[in-house]
Amino acid sequence: MDIQTWTFIIVGLTFALYIGIAIWSRAGSTKEFYVAGGGVSPLANGLATGADWMSAASFLGMAGIIAFAGYDGSVYLMGWTGGYVLLALLLAPYLRKFGKFTVPDFIGDRYYSNVARTVAVVAALFVSFTYVAGQMRGVGVVFSRFLDVEVNTGVYIGMAVVFFYAFLGGMKGITYTQVAQYCVLIFAFMVPAIFISLMVTGNPVPQIGFASTGEDGVYLLDKLDGLMTELGFTAYTDGTKSMTDMLFITAALMMGTAGLPHVIIRFFTVPKVSDARKSAGYALLFIAILYTTAPAIAVFARTNLIETVEDTPYEEIPAWFTKWENTGLIAWTDKNGDGKIQYLPGEAVEGRQPEFVEGRGAQGQRMISNASSSANELYVDRDITVLANPEIAGLPNWIIALVAAGGLAAALSTAAGLLLVISTSISHDLIKKQIAPDISDKKELWVARFSALLAVVVAGYFGIHPPGFVASVTALAFGLAASSFFPAIIMGIFSKRMNREGAITGMVAGLGITCYYIARFKLGWIGNPETSTQEYWWWGISPEGFGTMGMLVNFAVSILVSRFTPAPPEEVQGIVENIRIPSGAGEAIEH
């Protein structure tokens, strides 16, 4: 069978499974909608957390970033892995013991202020919408190739599917759907990695294979370094980013992880605090399987791509190239007129994506209207690295289709979690807690579902018009979370002196300066475009890493303001003291 037939079969079966689970586990109350009734087992929650955490950025984007950035791309690996450890050890058990449904709920009660709650809701919406844009973009990329539709059409299909089980099941449906999605995505990620590792190095363990020698007796990383330097690129194992920027991006990803509302909420779905610790351990194990494999896939993909396309006549190019070219995610323009593909340093097109015009070139290629002046003739969308890798390596069609199903599972699982954060922030933290405290449970549930519908529409728009590649867009969300939530949560747990005035001004200051920096240097919405380029970055810090600076501003402003304003009430200080006591770590404390 061809790839498309296999894709319809495997993706169709997995979607049927997800929808079936959503119907079986539909939510009947707000507690089931928000936290799955609080009765999920640690193992199931660990699997669901793994799927929630390993988004399209992890499945599609991270390996693509590492494949094209080499050493510089390692910041994503270090930041996201270290961040989850930080979250599991430093925050999750304490937040679970506090016993609130959402992060804004924690901040509102801990800082005894609806203003603090509202600021946290705004921050949660900023973070979640930025993050979900990357997921919907990932869905569109997968569908565009394997269902032979436009990227935008793929986003619409993904919107419909994720809305169905988020609307019907809430956190209960999402949790058990994510258990299935983890199994699908990790199987889809590992199978081609094992196959390619065997083909290239003879070792079935990808984590060992990519650091081994190939049939020619040369270490694979040395071979890739040689291939890249011959073409004029920086060696794969060398970096071009400054150490300052590397540090700030890694820290932003770590602290952002610890402040991500859709991950934190997962620890409220288990019965006890001790179960939250256990599920964190399970999730770390499940996450490590993918994260230790991603660098291997990146090396395999970049090596195969260079060896397959460089200096190859277009008429001899493999069929997979033409199929991806038809999606607009790969493009070639014959700048020197020799009919061969020249893959060299520099951007092949002006702007982030190629712009196509009608007709075909002399070699039969799609025509590009925005070719750049650089010598590089090949444009490759980084987000297709994992998806195209099995095709480049010549693996069986069923494996290629399996990877498509895995990519969809990764994107949809995280998108569902983010949509739930958005809907609960509006229905629970805004409507129930502030605007209409007497609203019935049934009405609140319908408000949550209607909020999910609005969130899907907005998420779809950002998926169609994303500000960057999947991993880089997701990194912006982490920076926003680091600059807003992380200081407020940390000081809310470990500082009895931190008061509402300090927390509110700190969150506003941290989030505000980070949003300004991203709007100016990433999106070009503010200031003169001529001064929005890399050479004008403050202290050489990229927009992806500026969340760390926003976090430092948040800490500084919070501590300073709290020292000149009244201390929190005694009962609040007592709550802070209580949530740090390990004894009695059984049922959650209700306030």
Task: Please give the model's pTM, rounded to 2 decimal places.
Answer: 0.78
- Report the pLDDT value the prediction gives residue 552, as an integer from 0 to 100: 96
Q: Tell me, rounded to whole angstroms, the distance of Cα 161 from its chain centroid.
A: 19
- The whole-angstrom separation of Cα 338 and Cα 316 is 13
Q: Which position has the higher pLDDT, 518 or 585?
A: 518
CA–CA separation, 384 and 366 (whole Å): 18
Which three-class secondary structure string do you get for 185-233? HHHHHHHHHHHHHHHHHCCCCHHHHCCCECCCCCEHHHHHHHHHHHHCC
Cross-strand partners of 313: 340
Please report the pLDDT score of residue 470 as a whole number: 53
**Rounded Cα–Cα distance for residues 305 and 251 (Å):** 32
pLDDT at 141: 74
Residue 330 phi/psi, 5° resolution?
Answer: -135, 140
Across 144-181, b (16+ Cβ under 10 Å) vs e yields bbbeebebeebbbbbbebbbbbbbbbbbbbbbbbbbbb
pLDDT tens-digit map of 321-346: 888 888 788 889 888 888 899 988 88
Residue 120 has pLDDT above 90, yes or no: no
DSSP β-bridge partners for residue 356: 368
> pLDDT for 349-393, tens place per residue?
887 778 888 888 888 888 888 888 888 989 988 878 888 888 888
DSSP 375-429: S--EEE-GGGHHHHHHHHTT--HHHHHHHHHHHHHHHHHHHHHHHHHHHHIIIII
Distance from chain centroid for Cα 238: 25
Among 284, 256, 280, 253, which Cα is nearest to 266's?
A: 280
Q: In the structure encoding, which two tokens stand for residue 29, read together?
A: 């109350």
Cβ count within 10 A of residue 580: 12
**In the structure, what pLDDT confidence band is assigned to residue 161 with cuts at 50, 70 and 90?**
confident
65-117 pLDDT, tens digit each: 888 888 888 888 888 888 878 877 777 778 777 766 677 888 888 898 888 88
Pairing state of beta strands 378-380 and 330-332? antiparallel
* pLDDT score recorded for residue 32: 56
Contact yes or no for 470/464 (Cβ under 8 A): no
Specify the pLDDT at position 555. 96
Split at pLDDT 50, 70, 90, the class of 130 is confident
- Burial of 254-275, coded b for 16+ CB within 10 Å and e otherwise, reads bbbbbbbbbbbbbbbbbbbbeb
**pLDDT value at position 588?**
44
Contacts of 531 (CB under 8 A, 6+ apart): none
Residue 584 has pLDDT above 60, yes or no: no
CA within 13 Å, CB half, 561: 19
- What's the confidence (pLDDT) of residue 173? 66
**CA–CA–CA angle 4, 161, 56 (5° rounding):** 75
The predicted pLDDT at position 472 comes to 57
Predicted local confidence at residue 467, as pLDDT: 58
- Identify the structural domains of the chain with CATH numbers, from first to last: 3-301+395-568+575-579 (1.20.1730.10)
The model's pLDDT over 231-290, given as tens digits with 9 standing for 90+, comes to 888 888 887 888 898 999 999 888 887 767 777 777 777 777 778 778 888 888 898 898
Mean model confidence pLDDT for the chain: 81
d(CA 111, CA 485): 13
**Out of 26-40, 78-92, 394-408, 445-459, least confident range:** 26-40
Kindly tell me if the per-residue pLDDT of 425 is higher than 90: no
| Burial of 373 per CB tally in 10 Å (0-12, 13-18, 19+) | exposed
Give the per-residue pLDDT at 512.
92
pLDDT digits (tens, 9 = 90+) for 9-65: 888 888 888 778 777 766 555 555 555 555 678 888 888 888 877 777 677 778 888
* Residue whose C-alpha is closest to residue 579's, from 590, 569, 568: 590
**Rounded distance, CA 385 to CA 393, Å?**
12
Query: Which SS3 state, helix, strand or coil, does residue 439 take?
Result: coil
Out of 165-169, 296-300, 479-483, least confident range: 165-169
**Nearest by Cα to 229 from 220, 219, 238:** 238
Mean pLDDT over 151-168 rounds to 73
Supply the angle between the helices 385-392 and 114-146 in degrees, to the nearest 10. 20
Could you identify the residue written with the tokens 């889809």? 188
Do the Cβ atoms of 27 and 169 come closer than 8 Å? yes
**Residue 495: pLDDT over 80:** yes
Instruction: From 201, 194, 188, select the one nearest 400 (Cα to Cα).
Output: 188
194-220 mean pLDDT: 84
